[in-house]
Amino acid sequence: MKLESLKELFVHELQDLYSAENQIIKALPKMADKASSPELKSALQEHLQETKGQLRRLDQIFDQIQDVDRDDEKCKGIEGIIKEGSDMLGEDADADVLDAGIIAAAQRVEHYEIAAYGTVRTYANLLGKQNWAELLQQTLSEEKAADQKLNALAEHINMEAQAA
Ligand code: FE
Ligand code: FE
Ligand code: ZN
């Protein structure tokens, strides 16, 4: 891979996100399965549906870029975050404590995505690709909303974990 221009760095970051979203689509159902709180379970399931749409937005952008393999990168950051989360899902845990841990893992995922989407949205603007910037901003807003939702759920779930 050569990185001789901002455009090439943009493509590299976009491929990283493409890999990240694909990994998240596989991980979210497992997290939702293990969640005991119905609100947490449905928040994770809703974000799974949203994530599938986010992948389609990336596809829309890749469709407009010539000679690039969208599957060319593996996001090792998300791979590590998901691995930490899945190790935790295997622990023998109190249901409320496990829910608090699932939120902690899910928020790490969201924060990684928020950082990455902010970057590619800004690069798209610099590259004069307004329509790409808009697509990426839509996803960025969804990731931020998902993070806020998890914050709100943590407020009572952490209390229940503390009482366990
Ligand atoms: Fe996402
Ligand atoms: Fe990455
Ligand atoms: Zn997300």
pLDDT, the chain, mean: 97
Query: Which amino acid belongs to residue 101?
Result: G
Full set of structural domains in the chain with CATH: 6-163 (1.20.1260.10)
Q: What is the pLDDT of residues 66-119, one digit of tens each?
A: 999 999 999 999 999 999 999 999 889 999 999 999 999 999 999 999 999 999
- Cα–Cα distance measured from residue 55 to residue 50, given in angstroms and rounded to the nearest whole number: 9
Give the global pTM.
0.96
Tokens of 137: 């901003």
* Residue 1 confidence (pLDDT) above 90: no
Cα 75 to middle of ligand 2, angstroms: 4
Cα 162 to middle of ligand 3, angstroms: 27
Cα 77 to middle of ligand 1, angstroms: 14
What per-residue confidence (pLDDT) applies to 164? 86
- Cα–Cα distance measured from residue 57 to residue 132, given in angstroms and rounded to the nearest whole number: 9
